[in-house]
Amino acid sequence: MIKLPGLIDIHVHFRTPGQTYKEDFFTGTSAALAGGYTTVIDMPNNKVPITSLKTLEEKIKIAKKQAVCDFGFYYGSLGENLDTFTKIQKKVFGLKIYLNQTTGGYIVDEKKFETICRKWPKKLPILLHAEDDVIGQMIEIAGRAGQRIHICHISSEKELKTIINAKLKGYKVTCGVTCHHLFLNENNVKKLGPYGLMKPSIKPEKDVNFLWRHLNDIDIVESDHAPHTIDEKNSDKPPFGVPGLETTLPLLLTAVNENKLSLARLIELCYANPKRIFKVPTDKNTYVEVDENKEYIVENKNLQTKCGWSPFAGWKVRGKVKKVIIRGEKVYESGEVLVKPGFGKYVAPAILRSE
Ligand code: NCD
Ligand code: ZN
Ligand code: ZN
C-alpha cells in the first residue's frame, strides 16, 4: 500500500446545471473519489455559461448540496461581463476562455481576449482552451497585459515547443496534459470511433512520444473529465469530450510501474503543482491509500461517472484506489462512497484563508 495526498483535478466538466443527464455533482465527485481526487475545479461551459454572479452562485448552491469531495469553480467570459470580474473574483480559482471550437461553442476572438486580459484581476490565472498556432498568439497577448495563463490539455509537439520557448523567454505560462493525450494515439482513435473524439484531437504517436520525453516541461496532469452519454456519442453528431477522473491515476501509476515517470513526479503533476499554481487549499488529514500492485481491467460497469463509459475500457492497469480520507473521515473504500451528498466543501483561494 502507498499513501498519496488527496489529488487535485483542476479541469472537470460536471454539466450541472443544465445537462445533469450527463453528470451531476454527486456522480462527478464520486468519480473523483474513485480516482483518488479529493478536490476538483469545474469549468464554466455549462448549457447556460457561468458568466454572471447569478449563474455562478446558483451553481455553487447546487454543488454544495451534491458533492462528496471538495470543489471549486472557474468563471467564464464572452467579453460582455467585464464589469462583473471584481464581484466574483473571491469565488473562483481563475477565468476560463475558449479560443477554439469545443463543447458549448463559447469562443472569444483575439480582440476580445485582449480586452478581457486587461480587465481580469491579476491575482488569478486565466486558463485557455487554445490549440496549435493560437497558443503562441495568446501567450503574446496575455504577456502584453501582464497576465498569468495556463494552457489546458496540450496535445502536440508543436504546442509544447511553443510553451517551452515562451517559458524560456520569461512569459508567465503553465500547461497541463490529459491522460488521453498521453496514452492514446491516432491508431487507437480508429477503433474508438466517437469515444475517441475530443478537443484537442488525439495526435500521432510521434507527438505523444514528444509529450512523454518532455514531461518535465509540463506542469499539471488534468483529466478534462468531459462526460457525454453513450446515446450522444453514438448519434450522427457525436459531441467532443471523454470522461477521465477514474482512469487518470491508474494509468499514471501503471506508467510509474513501467518506469515512464517517478512516483514523486506523479505527485507533483497531480497535487503539488495544481496546489501551488491555483492556490488550492489542502489539509494534512486528507489522503488516499492505493494498492500499487493491484492489477485490474477498466470496465464501464464499475465506473461512478453518470455517463458510464471510458475510452480506456478493456485496458489493464496496475494501481487501485482502496481508501480515501478527507479531513480525517473515511469517504470512500473499495468502490463504495461512504458519505452523503453535501459532505464536500466549496473552496476558493480567498475563502479558506479566512476560515
Ligand atoms: C470539453 C467538454 O465536453 O466540455 N470537451 C472536450 O472535447 N475536451 C470542453 C473542452 O475542454 O474543450
Ligand atoms: Zn478545452
Ligand atoms: Zn475541458
The atom number, within ligand 1, closest to the CA of 129 reads: 12
Q: What is the reported pLDDT for 351?
A: 60
Give the CA radius of gyration of the chain.
Answer: 19
CA-nearest residue for atom 5, ligand 1, is: 241
Edge-first strand listing for the sheet containing 7-12: 7-12, 37-42, 70-73
Cβ pair 82, 116 in contact under 8 A: yes
**Which of 148, 101, 99, 161 is CA-nearest to residue 120?**
148
Closest-approaching ligand to the CA atom of 46? 1
User: Residues 70-93, buried b or exposed e (16+ Cβ, 10 A)?
Assistant: bbbbbbbbebebeebbeebbebbb
For the chain, counts of helices (H) and of strands (E): 14, 14
275 strand-pairing partners: none
**Which of 35, 45, 44, 13 is CA-nearest to residue 225?**
13
| Residue 199 Cβ < 6 Å to ligand 1 | yes
| Residue 38 Cβ < 6 Å to ligand 1 | no
Q: What is the reported pLDDT for 11?
A: 99
CA-nearest residue for atom 6, ligand 1, is: 241
CA 40–ligand 3 middle distance (angstroms):
12
Cβ pair 275, 39 in contact under 8 A: no
**Other C-beta atoms lying within 10 Å of the C-beta of residue 173:** 24
Q: What is the reported pLDDT for 354?
A: 42
Query: For a pocket test of ligand 1, which of 48, 102, 128, 175 has the largest count of ligand atoms closer than 8 A to its C-beta?
Result: 102
Please state the three-class secondary structure of 248-266 as a single string.
Answer: HHHHHHHHHHCCCCCHHHH
Q: What is the reported pLDDT for 353?
A: 47
Reported pTM: 0.98
Q: What is the reported pLDDT for 151?
A: 98
| Residue 19 Cβ < 6 Å to ligand 1 | no
The atom number, within ligand 1, closest to the CA of 153 reads: 11
CA distance 68 to 327: 12
Closest-approaching ligand to the CA atom of 11? 3
Is 120 strand, coil or helix?
Answer: coil
CA-nearest residue for atom 9, ligand 1, is: 103
Set out the domains of the chain in order of their start, with CATH numbers. 2-353 (3.20.20.140)
For residue 185, CA distances in Å to 154, 179, 217, 297 come to: 14, 11, 20, 20
CA distance 140 to 154: 17
Query: For a pocket test of ligand 1, which of 199, 223, 233, 305 has the largest count of ligand atoms closer than 8 A to its C-beta?
Result: 199
CA 99–ligand 2 middle distance (angstroms):
9
Q: What is the reported pLDDT for 355?
A: 38
The atom number, within ligand 1, closest to the CA of 45 reads: 4
The atom number, within ligand 1, closest to the CA of 98 reads: 12
Q: What is the reported pLDDT for 296?
A: 98
Closest-approaching ligand to the CA atom of 154? 2
Q: What angle do CA 274, 277, 282 make, to 5 degrees?
A: 55
| Residue 306 Cβ < 6 Å to ligand 1 | no
Q: What does 37-101 look like in DSSP terms, one character per residue?
A: EEEEEE-S-SSS-S-SHHHHHHHHHHHHHH-SSEEEE-EE-SSS-GGGHHHHGGG-S-EEEE-S-
**Other C-beta atoms lying within 10 Å of the C-beta of residue 298:** 18
User: Residues 184-216, buried b or exposed e (16+ Cβ, 10 A)?
Assistant: bbeebbeebebbbbbbbebbeeebbebbeeebe
| Residue 349 Cβ < 6 Å to ligand 1 | no
| Residue 46 Cβ < 6 Å to ligand 1 | no
CA 121–ligand 3 middle distance (angstroms):
22
Split the chain (355 residues) into runs of 10 and give each run's mean pLDDT.
98 98 99 98 98 98 98 98 97 98 95 98 96 98 98 98 98 98 96 98 98 98 98 98 98 98 98 98 97 98 98 98 98 98 94 47
